[in-house]
Amino acid sequence: MEDSTIYQSPIVSGDLRALQHRETSVADPTLSPSLPSHSQRRYRIGFALPPKKQRSFLRPSLVSLSGNRGLDVLLIDPALPITAQGHFDCILHKLYGEPWTSNLLSFSSHYPSVPIIDLPDAVSRLQNRISMLSFASDLRLSSSFATVSVPRQIFVHEPTSYPAADLPFPLIAKPIAAADSAEAHDLTLVFRPHALLRLKPPFILQEFVNHGGVVFKLYVAGDHVRLVKRKSLPDVVSDDNSEKFADGWLQFSRLSNVTSVNSSDEAARLQSAEMPPMSFVMEIAREMKKSIGLNLFNIDLIKDERFSNHYLMIDINYFPGYEKLESYETMFTDFLLNIVSEDPVENHAGVCPGDEEKVQLSYLDMRSG
Question: Which residue ranges make up the annotated binding site for ATP?
Answer: 94, 129, 174, 206-217, 232
Closest by CA position to 179, among listed 298, 267, 94, 89: 94
Strand-strand pairing, 90-93 and 116-117: parallel
Strand-strand pairing, 203-207 and 153-156: antiparallel
- Using CB atoms within 10 A of its CB, is residue 138 exposed (0-12), middle (13-18) or buried (19+)? exposed
* Residues making up the binding site for Mg(2+): 300, 315, 317
What is the C-alpha to C-alpha distance for residues 5 and 12, in angstroms, rounded to an integer? 17
* Residues making up the binding site: 53, 94, 129, 174, 185, 206-217, 232, 300, 315, 317, 321
* Residues making up the binding site for 1D-myo-inositol 1,3,4-trisphosphate: 53, 185, 217, 317, 321
Per DSSP, what are the bridge partners of residue 226? 219
- Using CB atoms within 10 A of its CB, is residue 201 exposed (0-12), middle (13-18) or buried (19+)? middle
What is the C-alpha to C-alpha distance for residues 329 and 66, in angstroms, rounded to an integer? 8
Closest by CA position to 316, among listed 151, 154, 182, 157: 151
